[in-house]
Structure 1
């Protein structure tokens, strides 16, 4: 029985018994008992940090392309620092040339599926006058390699290194935008290695700590299988003085809003918080006919003109 199967089995049991308080309490007690048979079995198979891999749910499919959204795009290939081949799409700003765009957004997606699953999070930026580079980390989509926390953070850096070398964009007008895991990884990557020309950082539904998320999902058992190395809470302060926008829905069912607020509180100035009432993990920016998308564009336009 694999550690992933153990985790998924416990999650399924939790969902199936959610309406039975007594059973739900029993499951929580099991997850919080580091000496239970399940805990011993999980540690035997996973080891101290084997649970790190449970954060990632990559696929190799391509369910959609920017063309399906009525946008021109270019397939691009570049390499991470260790030589891992990475794949992405470059979408030029609609109704503008790449050179005359307001800026270029590097979008880092969440932890499920391939890049084609995440177009709805960023194509509207091209319609608002921004170039967009979106890409798959190692182990996702058409990118090579296999998932790995250190390597995937380096992949974020590689995306910026690639876009800075493009002759058709202004390398002094770069923006980082990451959703969920992408936001967390971007904070760490940019905190470790500041990018010349980076004008703004946006994170949506990001978490502060890997262990905290493991504890939320899998109790003390989950936390015991995951390390907290390279967690964004340890790097967010280093983003200063680049303006930071933290977006988080109050009803986020995956990453509690407290995680986003923890990042916001730990960050230095200048910083802005959009706490979206009733926003869920994937809808904070799309709720109410995209009310917060408009606010984000206004924020970006202001930063880029400043």
Structure 2
């Protein structure tokens, strides 16, 4: 009888532990391969693109740049009127792009920034485009820091670097600004925190606290509550991917010089394409606040 009682107690214990083990095993932190495929949608492109193809896509021929980030070799494009050394008064925009595609898809953004007299450096995270590796929430932040440091080694002063975060790139930009000192940030169509957008998209994930999400937390709202450079937050009010309340939360959390640009008819990716006048006005406001 005692053996039966022990067996029953053991069975009850297992029955109690198994759901908890499954709960932990399926959490975003402990089941990274599944969640990585939900978060990142990279695409590659032909590494034999000729200058004529770049000219057709961007309207000019960039410098192709390869640089290291951790163990990976990343690829980027540098658009400038002076590749060897930037004049002291030239502002360079460092683009941290969204979670899909690659840098070739950002041609409209590049053209708009160049039209407004800015140098531009954009790169692909690990696993995107021609960049080596596999992306995760930690590596994309490291990649952003490495891209920033590359510009500095090429003679661009941090006080002349503006971070442009696009969607997921908003989280990268705010994380970079914690450890580097950019001149300003333009945050477009971004989420306030990774956990919040995950719960918005998959409500069942609300059962998991922040501690069971990957690190770093990519909590841009929390990051902006401390010191930060001047910021412009731009968001479409018809964005079906990231609701504009995320932009409002970012703005409310920001501690200093800030401007919120909500575009009533814009969606997720068309702010520069369809609302360039409003975006240009916002950009000029941001540039006017550079120290």
TM range (shorter): 0.7 to 0.9
Alignment of 1:154-193 (within 5 A): 154-167=142-155, 169-191=156-178, 193=179
The answer on 1:286 being equivalent to 2:273 is yes
Q: 1:8-27 deviations in whole A, cap 9, x for unaligned?
A: xxxxxxxxxxxxxxxxxxxx
> For residues 6-57 of structure 1, what are the alpha-carbon distances to aligned partners after superposition, in whole Å with 9 as ceiling and x for unaligned?
xxxxxxxxxxxxxxxxxxxxxxxxxxxxxxxxxx799659774435412111
What are structure 1's unaligned runs of at least 5 residues? Answer: 1-39
Cα distance between partner residues in 2 of 1:65 and 1:55:
28
Aligned residue in 1 for 2:74: 86
**Mapped contact 1:101–1:129 kept (Cα < 8 A):** no
1:107-122 to structure 2, matched below 5 A, reads 107-122=95-110
Correspondence for 2:225: 237
Counting only pairs closer than 5 Å after superposition, residues 219-258 of structure 1 correspond to structure 2 as 219-221=203-205, 224=208, 227=213, 229-240=217-228, 242-258=229-245
State how far apart, in whole Å, the 2-side matches of 1:130 and 1:47 are: 39
1:276 aligns with 2:263: yes
TM norm structure 2:
0.79
Q: Residue 8 of structure 2 aligns with which residue?
A: none
Report the TM-score, using the length of structure 1 for normalisation. 0.76
Q: Which residue is 2:195 aligned to?
A: 211
Distance 2:61 2:195 in 1: 40
Question: How far apart, in 2, do the equivalents of 1:47 and 1:302 lie?
Answer: 41
2:92 corresponds to which residue? 104
Which residue in 2 is equivalent to 1:36? none
Residue aligned with 1:99, SS: coil
Task: Detail structure 1 runs of 4+ shifted over 6 Å in the superposition.
Answer: none
Aligned counterpart in structure 2 of residue 152 of structure 1, from 120, 140, 163: 140
- CA-based RMSD: 2.8
Per-residue CA deviations over 1:180-206 (Å, capped at 9, x if unaligned) read 001122112212x022xx211110000
8 Å CA contact 1:213, 1:255 repeated in 2: yes
> For each residue in 1:203-240, what CA deviation from the matched residue of structure 2 results, as whole angstroms up to 9, or x when unmatched?
00000111211111121147749716232222122342
* CA–CA separation in structure 2 for the residues paired with 1:297 and 1:253: 24
Aligned to 1:299: 285
Work out whether residues 57 and 107 of structure 2, in 8 Å CA contact, stay in contact via their aligned partners in 1: no
Alpha-carbon separation, structure 2, partners of 1:224 and 1:92: 45
Unmatched runs of 5 consecutive residues or more in structure 2? 1-21
- Where 1:233 maps in the other structure, the secondary structure is helix
Separation of aligned partners in 1, 2:62 and 2:89: 15
Give the CA deviation at 1:255. 0.4
Seen in structure 2, the aligned counterparts of structure 1 residues 190 and 246 have a Cα distance that, compared at 3 Å, is same
